[in-house]
């Protein structure tokens, strides 16, 4: 590199020297995306050089990519220059002082979901000192985890405190240029979670973002990296059943999982982004790249998700079954009501010998919603003895909604055994009348039938989460019939 260009770079960097960064930190970045913005984000987070370089590489690749158009969803074009890529954390004086100041409709929903009181305050963004002792709860858990050698922290902390681990694994499952949204995320990601489970350790508790101290504002470009070293085991819970409102329309997260030899990762998500109102106004566009790499022999990665939110959802949690005898699982419930559009599914890439995958997808459509399942099962030539079982069920509530299934199979090894089952059913008037004749209200009857339909997936969720997921589904389908 010439001296001249170094100087220019220095100059550019200087514009974000400390004092300036403080201003940004309290005011946020103006809308727009260019290299300077990427540098500013990295500087604000006081990242080491390698991280900045990594982001810049991603940004340059993103510039050359085009937004995908093949998903079964429709939305107005996003102007990436109208988005602010770093928004300042809300100051306490702009936040509600107590739950009394929070939108009563939101509180009503919390109530229906049975969310604990102290949790409600945090979710509604009440100023931190008004929130009960969630911090001290988190601290107790942190102690227990560090005793086991588990690292569980925000992504920013990991970059600072465990740069060698971040450097070794970041981008090794979802490369920067994997897709348009992953590249964008790689350039501008704000924060997220980092988990490392050392060799042979069984994580002593379910890890949940709830217990993460820095969970407050991970922003719209979240980045999560979970590494399970040889013979370790972890169950991670993402998200929250409470409706998350956000002014940011676009969310493009990346989640990378790495399971080494004999390791197991169970990743459960209950997501409830604001889906927009009954007329389809507002709501979050959720474009997520989630992928797990069963890198070692006998490893296992299991995705379970219950998805009710977002105006538009586009996500395909996937497994790369690289290790021999590795196992990938995908259990999903996707609900689309009103004008929601969901295009979700999974990819199972069989590379190792005797690899197995299971896909159970339950799609529920109500109102005017469109729900699409898109799944890919690929068996590579070397994947002797690969097996897949796919089950894809759709439930329709009402006449205006739709369900679509797009299974793709690419089988390059003749020993593979692939099974695919698909069903579409409707909640029939006869079923509802039957329940009502037994004294059960129409709404309860719908909930009962829907929960029955989703049972196989709920069974995969940790107990507490399953109860929440059920309540969430009921709230999401309120008014779907009648």
Which of residues 210, 303, 453, 465 is near other proteins by CB under 8 A?
Answer: 453
22 by Cβ neighbours in 10 Å (0-12 / 13-18 / 19+) ranks as exposed
In whole angstroms, the minimum distance from the beta carbon of 445 to other proteins comes to 9
With CB under 8 A as the contact rule, which of the stretches 8-16, 99-107, 209-217, 437-445 interacts with other proteins? 437-445
Nearer to other proteins, 412 or 455 (CB): 455
Among 135, 277, 455, 479, contact with other proteins (rule: CB under 8 A): 455
Q: What DSSP assignment string belongs to 94-132?
A: GS-SSGGGS-HHHHHHHHHHT--HHHHHHHTT--GGGS-
Question: Counting contacts by CB under 8 A, is residue 101 touching other proteins?
Answer: no
* 279 part of the interface to other proteins, by CB under 8 A: no
Is residue 399 at the binding interface for other proteins, with CB under 8 A as the rule?
A: no
Q: Tell the smallest beta-carbon distance from residue 481 to other proteins (Å).
A: 12
Closest CA to 276 of 303, 308, 253: 308
The encoded tokens of residue 296 equal 């070692």
- Nearer Cβ to other proteins (189/453): 453
What are the angstrom distances between the C-alpha of 120 and each of 104, 117, 209, 306? 12, 5, 15, 21
459 binds other proteins (CB under 8 A): no
The nearer residue to other proteins, 217 or 391, going by C-beta atoms, is 391
How many residues touch other proteins (CB under 8 A)? 23
Nearest-Å Rg of the Cα atoms of the chain is 23
Distances (CA, A) of 413 to 46, 294, 320, 325, 418: 48, 20, 16, 16, 11
In 3D space, the residue among 411, 481, 399 whose CA is nearest the CA of residue 441 turns out to be 481
Compute the least distance from the CB of residue 378 to other proteins, in Å.
31
Which x/- pattern, by CB under 8 A, does the window 185-224 give for other proteins? Answer: ----------------------------------------
Residue in the block written with tokens 């009402």: 398
Of the ranges 123-131, 139-147, 167-175, 445-453, which one interacts with other proteins (CB under 8 A)?
Answer: 445-453
b (16+ CB within 10 A) / e for 430-454: eebeebeeeeeeeeebbbebbeebb
Which lies closer to other proteins via its Cβ, residue 25 or residue 471? 471
Strands 327-336 and 387-397: unpaired
Residue from 118, 168, 412, 436 in contact with other proteins (CB under 8 A): 436
**Residue 133 in the binding site for other proteins (CB under 8 A):** no
Exposure of 85 in the CB half-sphere (CA atoms within 13 A): 24
Cβ nearer to other proteins, comparing 413 with 451 = 451
In whole angstroms, how close is the CB of 254 to other proteins at the nearest point? 34
Contacts of 84 (CB under 8 A, 6+ apart): 28, 29, 30, 31, 32
Say which residue the tokens 């379910």 belong to.
206
Q: How far is the CB of 428 from other proteins (least distance, A)?
A: 7
**Does residue number 437 form part of the binding site for other proteins (CB under 8 A)?**
yes
Q: Kind of pairing, strands 193-197 and 151-154?
A: antiparallel
Q: How far is the CB of 433 from other proteins (least distance, A)?
A: 6
Residue 188 or 446: the one with the smaller Cβ distance to other proteins is 446
482 binds other proteins (CB under 8 A): no
Least separation in angstroms between residue 454's CB and other proteins is: 8
Torsion of CA 306, 310, 311, 317, to 10 degrees: -60
Nearer to other proteins, 87 or 391 (CB): 391
Whichever of 195 and 395 has its CB closer to other proteins, that residue is 395
Q: Is 96 in contact with 102 (CB distance < 8 Å)?
A: yes
Q: Is 440 in the site for other proteins (CB under 8 A)?
A: yes
d(CA 63, CA 10): 23
Q: Which of 422, 448, 467, 481 binds other proteins (CB under 8 A)?
A: 448
Q: Is 479 in the site for other proteins (CB under 8 A)?
A: no
Binders in 416-435 for other proteins, by CB under 8 A: 425, 428-431, 433-435
Quote the CA–CA distance of 88 and 366 in Å, as a whole number. Answer: 37
Binding segment for other proteins (CB under 8 A), chosen from 148-156, 226-234, 284-292, 449-457, is 449-457
Hey, what are 407's tokens?
Answer: 């299974």
Q: Phi, psi at residue 337, to the nearest 5°? A: -125, 170
CB of 453 to other proteins, least distance (A): 5
Burial of 10 (0-12, 13-18, 19+ CB in 10 A): exposed
Binding site for other proteins (CB under 8 A): 425, 428-431, 433-442, 444, 448-449, 451-455
């Amino acid at each position: 590199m010439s001296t001249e260009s170094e100087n220019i770079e220095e100059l550019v960097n200087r514009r974000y020297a400390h004092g300036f960064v403080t201003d940004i930190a309290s005011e946020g970045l103006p809308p727009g995306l260019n290299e300077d913005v990427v540098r500013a984000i990295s500087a604000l987070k006081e990242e080491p050089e390698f991280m900045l370089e990594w982001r810049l590489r991603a940004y340059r690749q993103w510039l050359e990519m085009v937004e995908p158009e093949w998903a079964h969803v429709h939305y107005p074009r996003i102007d990436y220059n109208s988005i602010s890529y770093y928004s300042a954390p809300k100051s306490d004086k702009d936040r509600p002082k107590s739950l009394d100041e929070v939108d009563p409709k939101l509180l009503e929903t919390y109530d229906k979901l049975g969310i604990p009181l102290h949790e409600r305050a945090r979710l509604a963004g009440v100023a931190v000192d008004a929130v009960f002792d969630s911090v001290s709860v988190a601290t107790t858990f942190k102690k227990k985890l560090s005793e086991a050698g588990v690292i569980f922290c925000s992504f920013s902390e990991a970059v600072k405190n465990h740069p060698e681990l971040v450097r070794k694994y970041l981008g090794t499952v979802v490369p920067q240029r994997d897709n348009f949204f992953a590249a964008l995320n790689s350039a501008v990601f704000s924060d997220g979670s980092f988990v490392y489970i050392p060799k042979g350790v069984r994580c002593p508790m379910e890890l949940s973002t709830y217990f993460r101290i820095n969970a407050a504002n991970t922003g719209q470009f979240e980045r999560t990296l979970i590494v399970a070293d040889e013979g370790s085991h972890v169950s991670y819970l993402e998200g929250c059943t409470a409706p998350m409102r956000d002014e940011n329309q676009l969310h493009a997260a990346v989640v990378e999982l790495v399971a080494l030899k004999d390791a197991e990762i169970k990743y459960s998500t209950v997501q409830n982004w604001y889906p927009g109102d009954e007329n389809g106004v507002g709501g979050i566009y959720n474009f997520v790249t989630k992928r797990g790499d069963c890198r070692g022999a006998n490893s296992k990665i299991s995705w379970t998700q219950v998805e009710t939110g977002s105006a538009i959802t586009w996500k395909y949690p996937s497994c790369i079954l690289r290790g021999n005898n590795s196992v990938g699982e995908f259990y999903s419930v996707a609900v689309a009501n009103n004008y929601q559009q969901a295009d979700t599914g999974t990819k199972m890439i069989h590379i190792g010998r005797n690899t197995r995958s299971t896909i159970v997808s339950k799609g529920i459509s109500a109102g005017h919603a469109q729900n699409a399942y898109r799944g890919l099962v690929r068996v590579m030539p070397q994947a002797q003895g690969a097996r897949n079982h796919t089950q894809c069920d759709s439930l329709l509530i009402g006449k205006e909604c739709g369900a679509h299934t797009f299974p793709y199979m690419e089988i390059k090894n003749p020993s593979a055994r692939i099974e695919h089952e698909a069903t579409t059913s409707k909640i029939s008037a006869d079923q509802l009348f039957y329940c009502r004749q037994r004294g059960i209200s129409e709404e309860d009857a719908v909930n009962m039938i829907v929960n029955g339909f989703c049972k196989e997936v709920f069974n995969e969720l940790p107990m507490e989460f399953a109860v929440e997921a059920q309540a969430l589904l009921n709230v999401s389908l309120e008014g779907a019939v009648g």
